[in-house]
Structure 1
Amino acid sequence: MTTALSRSRRARGLGSIQTKLLLMLLLASIVSTAVVGFFGYRSGTDALEDATYARLQEVGNDRRNEVQDFIDREKSAVLLDSRGAAVQASKAFNAAFEDLGTSRTTARQRGALETFYTDTFVPELERTRGQEYEAAAFVPSTAARTYLQANYTRFSGDADTSVRRDDAGDGSAWTEANRTYNPYFRSVVTELGLDDVVMLDNDGNVVYTTRKRADLGSNVARDEYRGGGLQQVYDAAIESNSSGFVSVGDFEHYLPAYGAPTMFIASPIGTADDLTGVLVYELSVEKLNTVLTGNKTPGVYEGLGRSGEAYLVGEDGTLRTDSRELFENPEGFASKAVATGTRPDVAERIVETRQTMLALKDKSAPAREASLGRSGTMRAPDYLGHDVLASYQPAKIEGLDWTLVTKISAREALGPVSDFARNLLFATAAVILLICAASVLMARVFTVPLNRLLEGVRAVAGGRLGAQVDAGRRHDEFGDLGVAFNDMSSSLRTKQELIEAQRAENDRILSGLMPPPVVQRYRGGETDISAEHDDVSVVYAEVEGFDQFTGRHSASESLTLLNALSRGFDDAARAAGIEKVRSVGTGYVASSGLVVQRVDHARRVVDFALGVADMVQRFNSQHGSRLVVRAGINSGAVRSGLVGRSDVVYNLWGDAVDLAYRVRTVAGQPGIYVTDEVKQRLTGGYEFTRTGTLTESDSAVPVWRLRGGGDP
């Protein structure tokens, strides 16, 4: 017998409840966990991408605004100085420079100047530009330029010395002017973070610079630096012939600044009647880099994590700022730049000079889209081939065709999703082990009928009223319990359907009495509902002549006609996009801007009144009646709320409402009448006729009649 029982148990094998339940739960757990994990991973990735894009757009907008503000501040400053401190300085330097036209320099001074260009200027220029230059091409030939550079420029190899050199001790008028005005412009350079301040006379001569570099005394139209950004902003300023004009030039490799990227902002000096030259601010990339990091500590990019950055791209496709990775990983920068299309010599010079401005081209998709004037977000490789999430947009700076790209590495942005996937694997393994143990216990306690009942109960609890379970053909307690459950579920479904039908009817009735937001609050239990609205347009519209017209009709026919008018009012309100407040007989009160704030609420209400007039005319044509419309419209502050306890009515009140009601009666004849407030809010396309005046709070309110409201 024991042997037979053992064989019976072995025969059951996989058919036992415990085994089936175990396999079922394992399969369900694995599949459900995999499905949930997959969709969780996808939704998490999408959510993180959306959040990152939103953050990038926010940071990008902030940086764009900060760059715009920075350029605007520099423009305002140069404009202010060109009308202020630079006026007398320009006259003094112009006169002094002209006097130097016959000046002489010693052979020793000329030799020292040539040594400066040979030993200091050209080597540094070749280092930064990666090209060869002849020193003789830069040595000045004119008397004034030679004199100034011999006394000042040859000391400019030390930036601190050159900018602080107020007096060369030569006793010239130029030195006297420099001693007077150089301290002020030196402070301007320091306070505004400029690279230099330059003044030119009306002939294009550089008569003054704060740093006394190689462009001092040169002529932007004739000498070796002609054709560059300095000449462009100078020519624009001179041609404007206006003291309030400011011209802006893009960054370029400016040779007198040892080839450093330099941007020029210029404004004519003096007044409209007496322009003496042009004042130029030279901006360097360092200040712009600081702005794009969020004006924080250099190298710290606010709001962009460990890998993000915001950078500018010029019209030529090269960066207008310096790359974050160049400073954080210079060793790997060159190889990545070469891999994305940069020439090896250019990449090496970028690393050597620690500057990507005007050197590194951005061929990425975000930069390309932004250059076409588009704004948006995308996931794409950046200028070094990194997988990034990026937002892009035009920089919108007058005179500069720049675009702004804000990016962060996809690995950093989506890091939490990877952590989630790893944790999900561990959780899945733990869940499977728990289910194995739980299934053994559950199989010993519950039976199949009870599980069916449990499933039915859960279905009802989850909202599936009317759910049925298979009671089977059992005649025991489980069978009776199944039948009783099915009866209960059917009864619940029937009651729920009745409740939902009654609720739908109540909602329909309430929606006809008050706006949807008020309905929601009223259904939530609120009874004292009121609100104040600062800017709303209200219309009182009434159809006159209906009683006389329906006097020969039966009550049923009159009701049918009245319903037709009421539907016409509602159709006109929906077409104009305004909210119905209430209707009484042939009268209708509606508003715009009450529930949904709108800037064109006056226009919408006027369009509604015109729609009602058209509807009445069609009604007259169909039924042979002579109904007319009298409507009053006003805009202003109103109050709204529920009035009454047992019979609740939604109503509007206030001076604006009262005035809308009164303007209907000014002319004593049908039509659409508006207050002056409404008329002023409307643009073209409407014609009005002055019909009278109302007195409101001791002031006269003009009343206008709108043409088209049923006029012949």
Structure 2
Amino acid sequence: MKFKLPQQKLLARLKISRFISVKSRYLLMLFSIAILCILVIGYTGWFNAYNALTESSYNQLTSIRAARAQQIENFFKDKKAHLRILSGNLMFIEALEEFSAAYDLLTLYQQVPDEKQLNELKSFYAEKFYPKLKANGTKLKALQHFYPKSGTAKYLQYHYIVANPSNIGEKHLLDKAPDQSYYSEVHARFHPPLRLLVEQAALHDLFLIDKERGDIVYSVSKEVDFSTNLLSGPYAQSSLAKAVRTIMKNPELGRVIIQDFKFYDASYGRPATFMAVPVYNKQTYIGIIAIQLPVAQINSIMTRYQQWVQDGLGESGEVYLVGSDFTMRSDSRFLIEDAEGYLETLEKAEVAEESLQRIKSLNTSILNQQIKTVSAHLALVDGKTGHQTIHNEQGVELLSAYAPLNINNLRWIILAEKKLAEVNKPIVTLQYAMITATVILVLITGVLSLIFASRFLKPIDDITQIATQFIAGHKVSIIKIESGDEIGLLKNTVKKLIDHSQQQREKIKAQAQENQALMLNFLPSSVVGKLQACEKKIVSKHPNVAIMFTSLHGFGNVINEMSGETAVKKLNKLFQSFDVLANQHDIERLTIIGDSYIAACGLNKPRLDYAARCTDFAKELFEIVALFNQEEGLELKLHIGISAGEVISGIIGDERYAYSVWGDVVSIASRIRYDAKPNGLRVNQPVYNQLRNTDDFEKCELLSLIGIGNLGIWEYTYRPFMSQQITNAFQSHEP
């Protein structure tokens, strides 16, 4: 069974095809084939490049992660080995025995600070230690909790911390306190080499701890944990105390205990991690050595001394550590590079305000920023190693390589991550290159096709464009006839048609301009515009209009004494002067009937001062008539009437137009003109009320008009002053 298209659909397709030119069909076919080939080849290349680049990025991240993991594991192994070496070093053995004995002597002889020294110790805690600890956002215990408990601890802290002239953070510079004690003698002997060792090993601190009581008998940095008891003192719950208790329970030779990061109050609330090892003198257990590991050194390993770009991590990659509580164990790259932007990002991710405050005050993300991504869960909970694309807490898509670490009893993982957007930058560049190449190929194909097709179809295109411009009303250029074939005949025919039509169009345009100029002589421009727009009913109501009527007294005698042509010429000169002055005052001349000049203000152009403006114009007309009389040797006098109020204007007639104004205002103005004295101006009450200066006006008797009622009338009598403005208006129309 053959499938047949419905007749209507077939007809519709045939109609559409009639509007598609042969040139368009040819170009469409060629373009379709070219574009299809380019897209297939381009997509194949892009797909392979994308997979290769993504795999390369994963391999690079995996390689960086493995290298950092090896480095951080080696770091802890080195510290562990170093600590074992120290535990067997004769100097450390002797130092531990000497400091323990010196500490016991202070306890035995009950060396305690006097009352003044004790007050200074309390002041140090209240004014220097506690405020700084509080500023770092730590959940604080009471101030009294941090005071050393034993008299020996108070004594040593006073002489080596409070009375120490060095600033906080530099208390390790003091070699010997001036208290003349045996402890100070021991301290002066062992402290310089121990301090040098800590500096060279880049440790934060080193502790010597009593084997039975848990007293810190010596520390290099002299923070407030110095000389305190780790079993019952202020820092009994710290990571250091936990490591010491573990050793005391099982002081196995060479056993190194590592404690994870915790906020450490003695270091002003900063995160701290510790290592501890028992010390033996031959076979006798004599005490414990502990070290506080340097956070800066861990960060240096993870950032490769902040060489992220050189290491292949670009602008957004980082490698960092995460602990068993899913918080960071090394500082974020973005905190190091841009702390303000980093905090703003965490704030948008709705990180707890307490964590944000600690990050800001301590300038570290260790223990403060949680990492609960898929890759962190896979490495920390499932113990897996691998890589995949994930989203972080801010919703940013990342490439993430993850693995658990092998560091004694620490459950840490390492993550190497980079924004997918940055990884895809080369792919985006490749996309742009392929798009550019595609566009270029399409353009080349199109240009070559158009060159051949356009040469044949160009004459027809030219005729089409010229005809289109002509239809749009533009003046077209002359069509050049270069051939005698059918196209040449077509050009010739179109040329004759367009030339004839353009001549007719110019004639119509000239006639229209002439008609418009003629209409503007007796109609307002707004009315002319409406007539040209083919409006049939042109009627408007105007609420605030001043109408002025004038008449010339004595002009009849002038007509009788001279020829009609001369009289009209002189009257034309006078009224042209009126028109010039009317334009200056924004007055509209409505019509001229005989020797009467009728004008309005506020009719087609509303004015707030329509009546006052019309009155000023009328006063200056007296000046024009006076100047005209002086030049012509005549004795004409002007009667003027002005009335203000609401009028109606409109066009009368269908074939022959007449613009007129109706209303009581018109009747009043015409009437009071005749009542005015020669060279007199009469106005009704609305006009008078608008005048700024009424000193020259006198009140007349009430005027009674049928259908209107009694009217208040005021009259102004002209007194010549001949202003320069009037002279200019009159002289502008002299022959």
Q: 2:132 aligns with which of 118, 124, 127?
A: 124
Partner of 1:407: 417
For 1:287 and 1:347, the matched residues in 2 are separated by 24
CA shift in 2, pair 1:122/1:385, >3 Å? farther
Q: Do 1:205 and 1:220's aligned partners in 2 also have CA atoms closer than 8 Å?
A: yes
Partner of 2:321: 312
For 2:184 and 2:203, the matched residues in 1 are separated by 23
For 1:424 and 1:318, the matched residues in 2 are separated by 44
Partner of 2:53: 48
Question: Which residues of 2 match residues 595-634 of structure 1 at below 5 A?
Answer: none
Tell me the alpha carbon deviations over residues 485-538 of structure 1, each in whole angstroms, 9 at most, x when there is no partner.
xxxxxxxxxxxxxxxxxxxxxxxxxxxxxxxxxxxxxxxxxxxxxxxxxxxxxx
Q: Do 2:137 and 2:361's aligned partners in 1 also have CA atoms closer than 8 Å?
A: no
Q: Do 1:194 and 1:284's aligned partners in 2 also have CA atoms closer than 8 Å?
A: yes
State the 1:369 CA deviation.
1.3
Partner of 1:365: 374
For 1:32 and 1:130, the matched residues in 2 are separated by 66
Partner of 1:88: 94
Partner of 2:287: 277
Q: What SS class does the counterpart of residue 136 from structure 1 fall into?
A: helix
Tell me the alpha carbon deviations over residues 156-183 of structure 1, each in whole angstroms, 9 at most, x when there is no partner.
7834531111101112121111111111
Q: Does 1:350 align with 2:356?
A: no
Tell me the alpha carbon deviations over residues 401-460 of structure 1, each in whole angstroms, 9 at most, x when there is no partner.
00000011112111111112222222211111112244579999xxxxxxxxxxxxxxxx
For 1:260 and 1:91, the matched residues in 2 are separated by 31
Q: Do 2:137 and 2:357's aligned partners in 1 also have CA atoms closer than 8 Å?
A: no
Q: Does 1:330 align with 2:335?
A: no
For 1:439 and 1:263, the matched residues in 2 are separated by 75
Return 392-401 or 53-62, whichever deviates more. Answer: 392-401
For 2:160 and 2:70, the matched residues in 1 are separated by 39
Tell me the alpha carbon deviations over residues 112-132 of structure 1, each in whole angstroms, 9 at most, x when there is no partner.
111110111111111113434
For 1:169 and 1:356, the matched residues in 2 are separated by 41
Partner of 2:30: 25
For 1:37 and 1:429, the matched residues in 2 are separated by 12
Tell me the alpha carbon deviations over residues 526-567 of structure 1, each in whole angstroms, 9 at most, x when there is no partner.
xxxxxxxxxxxxxxxxxxxxxxxxxxxxxxxxxxxxxxxxxx
Q: Do 1:205 and 1:218's aligned partners in 2 also have CA atoms closer than 8 Å?
A: yes
Partner of 2:43: 38
CA shift in 2, pair 1:298/1:143, >3 Å? farther
Tell me the number of residue pairs that the alignment of Structure 1 and Structure 2 aligns: 432
Tell me the alpha carbon deviations over residues 129-157 of structure 1, each in whole angstroms, 9 at most, x when there is no partner.
34344322212231211111011122678
Partner of 1:462: none
Partner of 2:242: 232
Greater Rg by CA: 2
State the 1:334 CA deviation.
2.5
Gapped regions of structure 1 (runs ≥ 5)? 1-10, 445-712
Question: Which residues of 2 match residues 446-525 of structure 1 at below 5 A?
Answer: none
Partner of 2:552: none
For 2:45 and 2:282, the matched residues in 1 are separated by 68
Partner of 1:148: 156
Q: Do 2:322 and 2:328's aligned partners in 1 also have CA atoms closer than 8 Å?
A: yes
AA paired with 2:432? R
Q: 1:164 aligns with which of 173, 178, 182?
A: 173
Q: 2:303 aligns with which of 276, 293, 299?
A: 293
For 2:48 and 2:268, the matched residues in 1 are separated by 53
Q: Does 1:137 align with 2:142?
A: no
Tell me the alpha carbon deviations over residues 55-86 of structure 1, each in whole angstroms, 9 at most, x when there is no partner.
00000000000101111111111111111031
Q: Does 1:199 align with 2:212?
A: no
Q: Does 1:98 align with 2:107?
A: no
Q: What SS class does the counterpart of residue 278 from structure 1 fall into?
A: strand
Q: What SS class does the counterpart of residue 316 from structure 2 fall into?
A: coil
Q: Does 1:386 align with 2:391?
A: no
State the 1:32 CA deviation.
2.5
CA shift in 2, pair 1:82/1:283, >3 Å? same
Partner of 1:664: none
Tell me the alpha carbon deviations over residues 212-256 of structure 1, each in whole angstroms, 9 at most, x when there is no partner.
111111111111211321122112223333221111111111111
AA paired with 2:126? T
Q: Do 1:322 and 1:355's aligned partners in 2 also have CA atoms closer than 8 Å?
A: yes
Q: What SS class does the counterpart of residue 331 from structure 1 fall into?
A: helix
Gapped regions of structure 2 (runs ≥ 5)? 1-16, 455-735
For 1:361 and 1:370, the matched residues in 2 are separated by 15
For 2:30 and 2:248, the matched residues in 1 are separated by 85
State the 1:298 CA deviation.
7.4
CA shift in 2, pair 1:29/1:320, >3 Å? same
| CA RMSD across the alignment | 2.5
State the 1:54 CA deviation.
0.3
Q: What SS class does the counterpart of residue 250 from structure 1 fall into?
A: strand
Q: Do 1:268 and 1:279's aligned partners in 2 also have CA atoms closer than 8 Å?
A: yes
For 2:179 and 2:302, the matched residues in 1 are separated by 44
Return 256-265 or 228-237, whichever deviates more. Answer: 228-237
State the 1:350 CA deviation.
1.1
AA paired with 2:100? N
CA shift in 2, pair 1:271/1:299, >3 Å? farther
Return 301-310 or 217-226, whichever deviates more. Answer: 301-310
CA shift in 2, pair 1:132/1:228, >3 Å? closer
Q: Do 1:311 and 1:319's aligned partners in 2 also have CA atoms closer than 8 Å?
A: yes
AA paired with 1:211? S
Q: 2:228 aligns with which of 202, 207, 218?
A: 218
CA shift in 2, pair 1:155/1:368, >3 Å? farther
Partner of 1:648: none
Partner of 1:186: 195
Q: Do 2:203 and 2:294's aligned partners in 1 also have CA atoms closer than 8 Å?
A: yes
Tell me the alpha carbon deviations over residues 327-356 of structure 1, each in whole angstroms, 9 at most, x when there is no partner.
223223233223434112321331232211
For 2:308 and 2:60, the matched residues in 1 are separated by 20
For 2:124 and 2:225, the matched residues in 1 are separated by 14
For 2:47 and 2:353, the matched residues in 1 are separated by 40
CA shift in 2, pair 1:318/1:115, >3 Å? same
Q: What SS class does the counterpart of residue 133 from structure 2 fall into?
A: helix
CA shift in 2, pair 1:299/1:153, >3 Å? farther
Q: Do 2:149 and 2:233's aligned partners in 1 also have CA atoms closer than 8 Å?
A: no
Q: What SS class does the counterpart of residue 384 from structure 2 fall into?
A: coil
Partner of 2:265: 255
Partner of 1:74: 79
Q: What SS class does the counterpart of residue 348 from structure 1 fall into?
A: helix
AA paired with 1:354? N
Return 250-259 or 235-244, whichever deviates more. Answer: 235-244
For 1:302 and 1:109, the matched residues in 2 are separated by 54
Partner of 1:674: none
Q: What SS class does the counterpart of residue 169 from structure 1 fall into?
A: coil
Sequence identity (%) = 26
CA shift in 2, pair 1:105/1:155, >3 Å? closer
Tell me the alpha carbon deviations over residues 258-278 of structure 1, each in whole angstroms, 9 at most, x when there is no partner.
111111011111246211111
Q: What SS class does the counterpart of residue 388 from structure 2 fall into?
A: strand
For 1:384 and 1:169, the matched residues in 2 are separated by 57
Q: What SS class does the counterpart of residue 249 from structure 1 fall into?
A: strand
For 2:240 and 2:64, the matched residues in 1 are separated by 32
Partner of 1:639: none
